[in-house]
């Protein structure tokens, strides 16, 4: 993972920050992977170059250049992107930022996941604001200027962006086929590692193991054991980037069978060892 390629999925805001912003870019055929996941912070992604599909609470929709997505705290989401060149800005901010900055009128807008598009005339001004925010953040993320620009961006989105609607959006069927998985997903939302056999997970959702397996894969596009394993690895990435815990302590904290097994799985998922990952993240934070 090069310094210019920030994985958005494993990270949340650094302790003491109200928000973070990064610019992410991939050349054609650069490795990129994602899985159905969630954050404990609100997230805005402003795409520059993109081709793929966005999966979120409202359904799924096709992404195109200059699209914007908003993902609220604890909402599961995923991206399936082509191997073409792609780039975006990612902004993560604390849910309480709106009340802290006296913006309660925006609460109703930022309630659920949204795939947004903006009129060209408004998009040009919005894109400039995002670049201003990145520049100000790199100078001083605590400054009044940084916080003011972020407030402007949120106000601009609420006033000028429109959600994508059918037929561009394929809506989720709000039925037992989706809702019955929520008991087990609530465990993932509140635990860094979920050690639950498939039959117990199915029982928690009042489903047979075979039906639970089929249902889980249809919703999350991977099987339950794969999701549980990836959830642990993404939790490990957060701990590496946000704590002083050793690799050994993280391995045992998240119930990996051994530190060596943890290192092997982590390298397979992220393309580098936990030690190298932590070093590169510390370098990015200092930059």
Please write the tens of the pLDDT for every residue from 169-221: 776 554 456 678 889 988 887 888 999 999 999 999 999 999 999 998 887 77
Q: Say if residues 2 and 271 touch (Cβ distance below 8 Å).
A: no
Distances in Å between the Cα of 22 and the Cα atoms of 46, 76, 87 are: 11, 21, 11
- 138 in a domain, yes or no? yes
DSSP 61: E
* Domain housing 206: 176-286
On whether both 153 and 99 belong to a single domain, the answer is yes
Distances in Å between the Cα of 261 and the Cα atoms of 26, 33, 142, 266 are: 29, 21, 39, 9
Please write the tens of the pLDDT for every residue from 123-170: 999 999 999 999 999 999 999 999 999 999 999 999 999 999 877 777
The count of other CB atoms within 10 Å of the CB of residue 235 is 19
On whether both 89 and 204 belong to a single domain, the answer is no
Determine if residue 39 is left, alpha or beta; phi over 0 gives left, psi from -120 to 50 gives alpha, anything else beta.
beta
pLDDT at residue 112 is higher than 90: no
On whether both 147 and 208 belong to a single domain, the answer is no
On whether both 58 and 133 belong to a single domain, the answer is yes
CA dihedral (194, 57, 73, 158) in degrees, to 10, reads: 170
| The two three-digit tokens of residue 143, written as one number | 């400054």
- 12 in a domain, yes or no? no
- 214 in a domain, yes or no? yes
On whether both 162 and 244 belong to a single domain, the answer is no
On whether both 37 and 119 belong to a single domain, the answer is yes
272: domain CATH number? Answer: 1.10.10.60
Domain-ending residue, one of 170, 196, 212: 170
On whether both 42 and 77 belong to a single domain, the answer is yes
| The two three-digit tokens of residue 199, written as one number | 């039959």
The residue with greater pLDDT, 35 or 66, is 66
Place of tokens 């050994």: 248
Domain-ending residue, one of 110, 145, 170: 170
pLDDT at residue 96 is higher than 60: yes
């Amino acid at each position: 993972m090069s310094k210019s390629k920030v994985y958005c999925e494993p990270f949340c805001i650094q302790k003491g920050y109200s928000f973070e912003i990064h610019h992410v870019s991939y050349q054609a055929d650069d490795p990129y992977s994602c899985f159905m996941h969630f954050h404990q912070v609100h997230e805005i992604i402003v795409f520059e170059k993109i081709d793929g599909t966005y999966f979120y609470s409202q359904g799924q929709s096709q992404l195109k250049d200059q699209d914007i997505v908003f993902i609220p705290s604890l909402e599961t989401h995923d991206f399936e992107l082509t191997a073409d060149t792609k780039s975006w800005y990612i902004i993560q901010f604390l849910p309480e930022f709106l009340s802290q900055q006296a913006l309660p009128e925006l609460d109703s807008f930022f309630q659920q996941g949204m795939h947004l598009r903006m009129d060209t005339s408004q998009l040009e001004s919005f894109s400039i604001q995002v670049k201003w925010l990145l520049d100000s953040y790199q100078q001083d993320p605590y400054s009044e200027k940084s916080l003011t620009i972020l407030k402007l961006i949120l106000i601009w989105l609420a006033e000028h962006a429109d959600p994508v609607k059918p037929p561009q959006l394929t809506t989720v069927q709000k039925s037992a086929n989706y809702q019955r998985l929520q008991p087990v997903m609530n465990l993932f939302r509140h635990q860094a590692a979920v050690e639950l056999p498939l039959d117990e997970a199915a029982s928690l959702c009042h489903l047979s193991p075979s039906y639970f397996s089929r249902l889980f894969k249809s919703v999350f596009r991977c099987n339950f054991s794969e999701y549980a394993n990836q959830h642990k690895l993404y939790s490990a990435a957060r701990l590496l980037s946000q704590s002083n815990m050793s690799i050994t302590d993280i391995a045992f904290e998240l119930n990996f069978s051994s530190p060596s097994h943890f290192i092997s799985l982590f390298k397979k998922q992220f393309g580098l060892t936990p030690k190298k990952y932590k070093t590169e993240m510390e370098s990015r934070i200092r930059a």
